Structures are given as structure tokens and as C-alpha cells.
Structure 1
Amino acid sequence: MPGNIRLIIGPMFSQKTTCLTGYIHRYRSIGRTVLVVNHASDVRYGRDALCTHDGTSVPCRMRRDLRGLRGEPEYTDVSTIFIEEGQFFDDLAAFCRDAAGVDGKEVIVAALVATFDRRMFPSVAELIPYADHIEHRTALCCVCRDGTPAPFTKRIAAIEGCLVGGSESYAAVCGPHHNAPHRAINGAVGHLNDP
């Protein structure tokens, strides 16, 4: 049976992980064998669990790359592979293509669509043309607070480089608030840091 790839993308706080854990629970409820993988850099909630921002957790394997999974016995026995934080895996597209196209696995990936400065993650951009299904999610703007869609992630922590974090470091915002300077939105969201 041919495999397929489902990609769940969006900004932070768009419930990508909640959607992924929903699929995990649904598939397990019908007896599907699954493998859940999260990137090793995401240790916000522990070293062996995929967690939503509201505290729902699922046991998982923590890895820095995906390439070695195909040779492991556990991989052979599963029908569906769930990948969290897909944007951090450099070998995401190659692994998903082989898992689905060669091995007949169903692969479901949750990933940020873009960085806080609106740049595509190369691994996600490379996977998009191979995805059989794409769910593009949005959050709600934490500055407008009126239900305005928030398709963007804004970094609010005054830190350079790659930062894995949550609401202490990032906010979901609409286009105008993404472009606004930090000081213009600092009062609207209590945890914003002014650089």
C-alpha cells in the first residue's frame, strides 16, 4: 500500500502540536502502530515527551536527525510516523519521501511554516511539494485580542540566534503587529520584552 505525507504548518500557538496529538490518539484508538519523534533540542517539557502548550503530553523519541530511523527495528513495525518540530530536522524531506514512497508509511509532520522574521525553513519548504495533504493553521493575534488571525510568529525575547521557546520568547501576531516595533506593542502584551 502506498504511503502518504501530511504536513501541518503554521506559526507558533496555532495548535499544530494539539492537532498532531489528536491524530496520534485517533490512530492509536483504531489499533494503528505509531512512532512519535520530536527534535532533541525541544526539551521545554522534558526529554522524552511531545507536549502541547496546555500540558497534554505523549511519549516520544528525541532525535537530532531522522536518517537513522529507517534502519531501526521499531521503524519496521509501525504504520504511521509522527514528527514534531519538523523545521529543525535537516533531513526531513528526504526521510519523509523515503518513508512514504519507498516504505509505504504514513508520515504526519507538524512544523513552523516560517521563522520569526518570515523566512521559510529550508526543510519545510523542501517537503511542501511532496506533501499529499497540507493543513495551514493560524493563531489569533495576541495584541489585537479581537479574533484577528495571526499567521506570523514574532520574537519578543531580546536574544540572537536559534531559540526554542514558548510564550516567554514568541508571540502570535497579525501582519501589522509583526511589522510594529516592540515598544508599540509592549503594553498590549504583558510579557513582551523591549530590546
Structure 2
Amino acid sequence: MFLEPHFKGQRSGWIEVICGSMFSGKTEELIRRLRRAKFANQKVEIFKPKTDNRYSVDSVVSHDENAIDSVVVENSMDILRLSGDIRVIGIDEAQFFDDKLVEVVQKLAIRGARIIIAGLDMDFRGKPFGPIPDLLAVAEYVTKVHAICPHCGNLATHSYRLSAEKETVVLGEKDKYEPRCRICYEMGNILDLKIY
């Protein structure tokens, strides 16, 4: 069965993934790209999971407090259902979505939409997080952003959890996480006697 693109003159859309550790500027970059699309008079919508209510219930907010209105959804199928004729679709905190997100964004790209996704590529254990690895595999464009390790000044690639909680999903900011380079992340786990 052939699916007709929604937008004339465009055969297919594409998928962009922005990933990295906490405090690396993922949401900031997502907001920047969406604002540029809005400036070009493209129809834009951004979705975020209900799980993420740290800064705002109904806006996507970066750590430096840039914000953009968003639609809060329960699951990835809601994104497909609510997208309609949206030309540019933003998805923040993608690691919190279910595995159907990969299928959803591919369907949207086939319909002709540009999808821009931001999310953590690794959890606090240093393991691939949620649907992000599969999204990286199907994306046309991947941008890995980095924070700076506060201990040594190198590029930070890991999200180091400062609290003792063991659950994979623990919402928090600088009170619970800090970005660390590979070495400082490993040293912290050894010094804190963290065993996963």
C-alpha cells in the first residue's frame, strides 16, 4: 500500500535526533530549530511526555529557561493522532516515551513531516535509554551535543546521578545530576561504591 505524502512537492519528510547527556543543550537546540521553522511560517507543534513536569506542565523549557508551548501526551500514539497536517514536529525528552515512538516518527516522515527529537542517549548507568538507540538508527540526521565536565573541563558524555535512588527514571536537575566525562563518571562510581 502506497502512502501519499501530506505536503505537495515533497516526497518524504525526515527525522532529526539531538542527543547527549543532561545539561548539554538538547532542548535548547530543539527550541532553536523549531523557532526557525516558525519564522519560516511552517506549521509547527511540539510534544512532550506527561512524565516530564519539572519546569512546566504545558511548555518545553530548557535548563536556561527558554520555553516554547507544547502538547503533553500520554504515549507516542497520541503524537500520531494529534499531528494532523503539522509540517514540523518537535518531540522533547524522547527517552521517556514507549518503543512505539520509532514507528510513529517513521510514519510521520513518510507523510512528509520533518521530525526533530531531543533526548538522553544514556541513562545514569551509562546504558542506552528508551527508544533513543532505535531512533538514532532510523534518523537521517543525528546531532550529539555535549556538556562540560565540572571536575576536569573535558567534554561530558554521561549523566552522573548524585542521589542514591536506583530507579532508571528519577526526575531532577542539578540537585540530582551533573554532567561528567567518561573518566570522571567512572571514578565517581568507583569512589561512591555504586554497583549496578
Normalising TM by the smaller chain, what interval? Answer: 0.7 to 0.9
Q: What is the aligned counterpart of 1:163 among 159, 163, 170?
A: 170
User: Which residue number in structure 2 is paired with residue 189 of structure 1?
Assistant: none
User: Which residue number in structure 1 is paired with residue 102 of structure 2?
Assistant: 93
Q: Which amino acid aligns with 2:124?
A: F
- Contact 1:92 1:124 survives alignment (8 Å): no
Normalised by the length of structure 1, the TM-score is 0.87
Unaligned 5+ residue runs, structure 2? 1-9
- RMSD after superposition: 1.6
User: Which residue number in structure 2 is paired with residue 64 of structure 1?
Assistant: 74
- 1:88-118 per-position Cα deviation (integer Å, ceiling 9, x unaligned): 11122111111102x1111000010111111
Q: What is the aligned counterpart of 1:7 among 17, 20, 23?
A: 17
User: Are 1:174 and 2:174 matched, yes or no?
Assistant: no
Q: Secondary structure at the match of 1:181?
A: helix
User: Which residue number in structure 1 is paired with residue 89 of structure 2?
Assistant: 81
- Contact 1:81 1:108 survives alignment (8 Å): yes
Q: Which moved more, 1:110-119 or 1:174-183?
A: 174-183
Instruction: Supply the distance in 2 between the matched residues of 1:36 and 1:21 (Cα, whole angstroms).
Output: 9
Q: What's the % identity of the aligned pairs? A: 25
- 1:36-88 per-position Cα deviation (integer Å, ceiling 9, x unaligned): 0011111111210100111111110111212133333xx22310100000111
Normalised by the length of structure 2, the TM-score is 0.87
User: Which residue number in structure 2 is paired with residue 190 of structure 1?
Assistant: none
Q: What is the aligned counterpart of 2:122 among 114, 118, 123?
A: 114
Unaligned 5+ residue runs, structure 1? 186-195
Instruction: Supply the distance in 2 between the matched residues of 1:10 and 1:127 (Cα, whole angstroms).
Output: 13
Matches within 5 A, 1:13-32: 13-32=23-42
User: Which residue number in structure 1 is paired with residue 151 of structure 2?
Assistant: 143
- Contact 2:47 2:79 survives alignment (8 Å): no
Instruction: Supply the distance in 2 between the matched residues of 1:99 and 1:182 (Cα, whole angstroms).
Output: 40
Instruction: Supply the distance in 1 between the matched residues of 2:130 and 2:166 (Cα, whole angstroms).
Output: 19
Instruction: Supply the distance in 2 between the matched residues of 1:157 and 1:98 (Cα, whole angstroms).
Output: 39
- Contact 1:12 1:172 survives alignment (8 Å): yes
Instruction: Supply the distance in 2 between the matched residues of 1:182 and 1:114 (Cα, whole angstroms).
Output: 15
Structure 1 segments, 4+ long, off by >3 Å, are 181-185
Q: Which amino acid aligns with 1:136?
A: K
User: Which residue number in structure 1 is paired with residue 60 of structure 2?
Assistant: 50
